[in-house]
Amino acid sequence: MNKFKKILIPTDGSEYTKKAIAQGLEIAKVMDAEVTALYVVDQTSFVNFPMDSTVVSIYSLLEKEGRDAVDYVVEEGAKMGVKVTAEVQEGSPVKRIVDVAKEHDLVVMGTLGRTGISKLLLGSVAERVVRFAPCPVLVVRSSPRED
């Protein structure tokens, strides 16, 4: 089996990514790997809006949410003795994750496991990352109904 030395864990800060974070950190611990926690502030949502104070406030809120999300991964990694580097970047989530994945051996990310019309309308970041990532991707399914 390949030894994964650099693992990327993208997070959106939601409860649904916690299972993937735990799985990624466990793999990192076993493989003695370093982890990068990545949050992408989705700029595509703001493309058609003028940069007024409301948009700037929302953007600042998303940036803080991103910092909190990656800090959670850093804290969980510290509990397990895994070195985690936190990154908050801007852009399209799929493009940024795929780009950052070029410097990693494995991507571990969560998904809600949407199906049907919900998947068609909302798309899936995880599905597109699997399709375009230059390295293996482990998708950890999480359900909104889990306890």
pLDDT at 145: 55
Q: According to CATH, what is the number of the domain 6-141?
A: 3.40.50.12370
- pLDDT for 43-80, tens place per residue? 766 656 565 666 667 778 888 999 999 999 999 999 99
- pLDDT for 85-122, tens place per residue? 999 999 999 999 999 999 999 999 998 655 555 455 44
Percent of the chain with pLDDT over 90: 61
Structure tokens at 81: 């003795």
pLDDT at 121: 45
Closest CA to 40 of 110, 94, 103, 88: 88
- Rounded to whole angstroms, what are the CA distances from 19 to 8, 90, 142? 15, 24, 7
- pLDDT for 71-89, tens place per residue? 999 999 999 999 999 999 9
Domains of the chain: which residue ranges?
6-141
Residue predicted with more confidence, 126 or 116: 126
Number of H helices, E strands in the chain: 5, 5
Q: SS3 for 88?
A: strand
The mean pLDDT value of the chain amounts to: 85
